[in-house]
Chain A
Amino acid sequence: MSSRRAITLTVNGKSYERLVEARMMLADFLRGELDLTGTHLGCEHGVCGACTVLLNGEAVRSCLLLAVQADGAELLTVEGLARGNELHPLQKAFHERHALQCGFCTPGFLMTAFAFLKETPTPTEAQVREAISGNICRCTGYLPIVQAILQAASESGESSGKSVSTPPARR
């Protein structure tokens, strides 16, 4: 019954090879096996959005994917946003706008916003609100979160077409 499988995947530009049990969730794999604990687990059934990561460029719930399903995939987690000590424009905007209190939901919001701005680089406020509707913040800091995402979008628009969602350099 032990269905352990070898998987190879790339996370934040780095390649990993591991042997995992089929029933291990991707979020648990990232946290427990790769020690990438920036991806948070809230509800663990797809409602809260805290575990949002990018799978081959698309935002997904990592609590609803098996690690074995990510075999061969490219992942981006919140650890992959900053370049060294330089925060990603979204992180910088969250910091400046005070878009977090306890910070538990923040990785999910950042990854959601990252994927959203990649597709919609100059969003309206209504679009931002809809984009984050699948992420829950229990400190109820939604207003600063919306403002931070709008700020990140407008700043990246000003800096000569440099997209806010430029993938980080490979490490």
Chain B
Amino acid sequence: MKPAAFEYFVPQEVQETLELLEQYGDEAKILAGGQSLMPLMNLRLARPKVIIDINRLQDLSSISPGAHGGLTIGALTRQRAVERSAAVRERNPLLFATMPLIAHFQVRNRGTIGGSLVHADPAAELPAVTLVLGAEFVLKSTRGERAVQAEDFFVDYMTTAIEPIELLHEIRLPGWRQGRGWAIEEISRRKGDFAMVGVATVLELDGHGSCKDARIALFGVGETPVRMERAEGMLRGKGVGGRTFEEIQKVVSDDLDPVSDVHASAEYRKEVGGVLTRRALEKALLRAREGRK
């Protein structure tokens, strides 16, 4: 058999899951959609002693409208369900546009939104998207509950702020603000593969058309999704357009510090990261202006 032997639990309730996590801690792995964990186990790159299969936790699988136009998405919600959700389409166009970019539909049928975030592959779309959206992650353990902001959640390569005894319960997205444009751009060799480089952005205009807020996060270029703070600073409080975007393309290329691997060279990622950022900002600006009309 491919994976190493493990002890297998299928809790029926969240509380039961938390007790198992408390008992086994870092010997245990949560099995959600299994689209990243199972390959690691099949290759024996991961050999957890205990598997806690949370697929029977119905409470964790829901999409509900939150306060002020926000959304609360249960961690076990399948990526395909997010992709098909009318609430997501209406309330969060960036997340809605992101879903079809994640892997292939057979993978999204099983893969969960929480699984992708906790796995925190730096080339994945969702971590970067939650970063620009200012998402909040609700973590539970037998000792209580805490909420962690996306900017504090992704701490290192495939490492998040989640403790071994904690379970990601839900993701909260703040309401979409009027005058906000957005875009997500990525380059991958085959449709659905992990991006060699990608960028997610939101751009918010005030009533006079100047930039109120800008957030840019790149993925596939570092240990975690990377916010481009210098570029964001060049946008905030200013009138934005073609010239600024060209400067930002250079700044982003300069600020990126990616590694070379079998998929792409560092030089390629720097160059393309800048170009994709400019394209994303151009699209976001158009959408922001549409939204202002």
Chain A residues within 8 Å of B, Cβ to Cβ = 1-3, 5, 21-25, 28, 44-46, 49, 52, 55, 58-61, 63-66, 68-69, 112, 115-116, 130-131, 133-134
B110 touches A134 (CB 8 A): no
**A24, A25, A45, A58: the one within 8 Å of B109 (CB):** A58
B2 touches A61 (CB 8 A): no
A46 touches B53 (CB 8 A): no
List 14 other contacts, CB 8 Å, given A61-B107, A134-B105.
A5-B8, A21-B1, A22-B6, A22-B7, A23-B1, A28-B2, A44-B2, A61-B110, A65-B110, A66-B31, A66-B34, A66-B53, A68-B53, A131-B105
Interface digits, B1-44 against A, CB 8 Å rule (1 contact, 0 not)? Answer: 11111111010000000000000000000010011001100110
- For the complex, is B281 an interface residue (Cβ under 8 Å from A)? no
Chain B residues within 8 Å of A, Cβ to Cβ = 1-8, 10, 31, 34-35, 38-39, 42-43, 51, 53, 55, 80, 103-107, 109-110, 190-192
- Name the residue on B nearest A119 (C-beta): B105
A5 to B10 CA separation, bound complex (whole angstroms): 11
B1 touches A28 (CB 8 A): yes
A49 touches B106 (CB 8 A): yes
**A25, A64, A133: the one within 8 Å of B104 (CB):** A133
Chain A contacts for B34, CB-based, 8 A = 64-66, 69
B106 touches A61 (CB 8 A): yes
Chain B contacts for A61, CB-based, 8 A = 35, 106-107, 110
Chain B contacts for A115, CB-based, 8 A = 105-106
B6 touches A23 (CB 8 A): yes
Chain B contacts for A112, CB-based, 8 A = 106
Known interface pairs A25-B42, A65-B38. Does A3 touch B106 (Cβ–Cβ under 8 Å)? no
**B4, B31, B39, B110: the one within 8 Å of A60 (CB):** B110
Chain B contacts for A60, CB-based, 8 A = 106, 109-110
Chain B contacts for A64, CB-based, 8 A = 34-35, 38-39, 42, 110
Chain A contacts for B39, CB-based, 8 A = 45-46, 64
Known interface pairs A23-B1, A69-B53. Does A59 touch B35 (Cβ–Cβ under 8 Å)? no
A1 to B106 CA separation, bound complex (whole angstroms): 32
Chain B contacts for A3, CB-based, 8 A = 5-8
B1 touches A59 (CB 8 A): no
**B1, B4, B53, B107: the one within 8 Å of A134 (CB):** B107
Question: Please, could you name 6 A-B residue pairs with CB atoms under 8 Å apart, sorted by A?
Answer: A1-B5, A3-B8, A44-B42, A64-B34, A69-B55, A130-B191
A133 to B104 CA separation, bound complex (whole angstroms): 7
Chain A contacts for B42, CB-based, 8 A = 25, 44-45, 63-64
A48 to B5 CA separation, bound complex (whole angstroms): 25
Known interface pairs A59-B106, A130-B191, A134-B107. Does A46 touch B5 (Cβ–Cβ under 8 Å)? no
A24 to B8 CA separation, bound complex (whole angstroms): 12
- Chain A nearest CB, measured from B20 CB (Å): 14
Chain B CB count within 10 A is highest, among A64, A112, A133, for A64
- Name the residue on B nearest A24 (C-beta): B1
Chain B contacts for A59, CB-based, 8 A = 105-106, 109
- Name the residue on B nearest A43 (C-beta): B39
